[in-house]
């Protein structure tokens, strides 16, 4: 509901705040950055913190409205997975072939891809392309547990057995983003901001060993990202014969 409300406010503001097309111009914006993230709720109980490297390709109109694509991988080390080996031993801990506690290190791996739409609210002169960039996105996300271990000592996690433990989830992701953009055709262009992501995913494995059954429950995956990066802007010019880029 909050996402729908923000969308209505966004489109209303776009209609009210049309800009002079001779000032703002059209651009292609290519961006790359880093985004340390914090999981929220049940998602945060497993993935407390992780990072991504978002890559964007965006078209900006002469009204400062933006359309584009964004994608990234998920990478995390601060992972909690209590009870994942439930039922393997009396204390729910995995043991190796020698009867010793198995050394298993958990990591987060995954990715997302989405379409994004937004608007840059200009801070006017001296650079009309500097301002607050409000964006909304929708797409697909996927994540799972990556486990590192000595495969010769932990046969329980070899081959297809590991699929019963890696908790592969995927589904719809919605994102709201607020960024500060400084776009310059002569100097380095930068951005920094915050994203709020809300995912709706399900476990795609046929069996979850920790539950001793198939996991069909819908999961709500929420996290906040703090991002910063660089933008490569290409200004689009009009010509009676052709278009070219600077």
Q: In whole angstroms, what is the distance from residue 69 CA to residue 223 CA?
A: 20
The pLDDT score that the predictor gives to residue 81 is: 81
> Which of 18-32, 49-63, 99-113, 121-135 bottoms out in mean pLDDT, i.e. has the lowest?
18-32
112-122 per-position pLDDT tens digit: 999 999 999 98
The partner residues of 106 in beta bridges, in order of sequence, read: 147
Where b means 16+ CB within 10 Å and e means fewer, 101-116 reads ebebebbbbbebebeb
* Rounded CA separation 95/46 (Å): 22
Q: Give the mean model confidence (pLDDT) for residues 206-225.
A: 93
Please, what is the average pLDDT of the chain?
83
Q: What gap in Å lies between CA 208 and CA 215, rounded to an integer?
A: 6
d(CA 226, CA 35): 5
Q: Answer yes or no: is pLDDT of 15 > 60.
A: no
Mean pLDDT of 184-198: 87
Distance linking the first and last C-alpha atoms of the chain? 42
Compute CA distances 122 → 119, 223, 231, whole Å: 9, 28, 17
pLDDT at res. 91: 67
* Least confidently predicted of 141-145, 164-168, 179-183, 189-193: 179-183
The CA distance from 229 to 219, in Å, is 30
Does residue 29 surpass a pLDDT of 80?
yes
Q: How confident is the model at residue 168 (pLDDT cuts 50, 70, 90)?
A: very high
Q: What is the DSSP letter of 161?
A: G
User: Which sign, positive or negative, has the C-alpha torsion 75, 56, 199, 136?
Assistant: positive
Question: Residue 244: CB partners within 8 Å, gap ≥ 6?
Answer: 237
CA atoms within 13 A on the CB side of 48: 7
Q: Which two tokens stand for residue 43?
A: 């998602």
The Cα 175–Cα 196 span in angstroms is: 6
Using the structure block, give the residue that is written with the tokens 């590192």: 148
Q: State phi, psi for 10 to the nearest 5 degrees.
A: -60, -50
The residue with greater pLDDT, 126 or 191, is 191
What's the token pair of residue 87?
């039922």
At residue 78, the pLDDT reads 86
Cα–chain center distance at 131? 23
């Amino acid at each position: 509901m909050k996402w729908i409300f923000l969308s209505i406010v966004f489109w209303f503001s776009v209609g009210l705040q049309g800009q002079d097309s001779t000032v703002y111009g059209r651009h292609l914006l290519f961006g790359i950055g880093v985004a340390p993230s914090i999981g929220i709720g049940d998602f945060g109980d497993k993935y407390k913190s992780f990072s991504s490297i978002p890559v964007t390709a965006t078209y900006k109109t002469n009204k400062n409205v933006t359309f584009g694509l964004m994608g990234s991988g998920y990478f995390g080390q601060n992972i909690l997975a209590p009870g994942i080996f439930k039922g393997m031993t009396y204390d729910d801990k995995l043991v190796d072939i020698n009867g010793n506690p198995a050394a298993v290190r958990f990591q987060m791996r995954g990715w997302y891809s989405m379409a994004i739409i937004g608007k840059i609210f200009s801070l006017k002169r001296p650079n009309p392309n500097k301002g607050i960039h409000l964006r909304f996105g929708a797409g697909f996300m996927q994540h799972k547990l990556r486990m590192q271990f000595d495969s010769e000592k932990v046969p329980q996690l070899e081959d297809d057995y590991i699929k019963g433990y890696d908790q592969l989830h995927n589904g719809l992701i919605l994102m709201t983003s607020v960024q500060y953009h400084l776009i310059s055709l002569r100097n380095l262009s930068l951005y920094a901001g915050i994203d709020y992501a809300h995912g709706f995913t399900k476990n795609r494995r046929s069996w979850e060993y920790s539950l001793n059954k198939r996991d069909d429950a819908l999961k709500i995956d929420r996290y906040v990202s703090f991002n910063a990066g660089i933008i490569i802007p290409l200004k689009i010019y009009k010509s009676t014969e052709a278009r070219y880029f600077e």
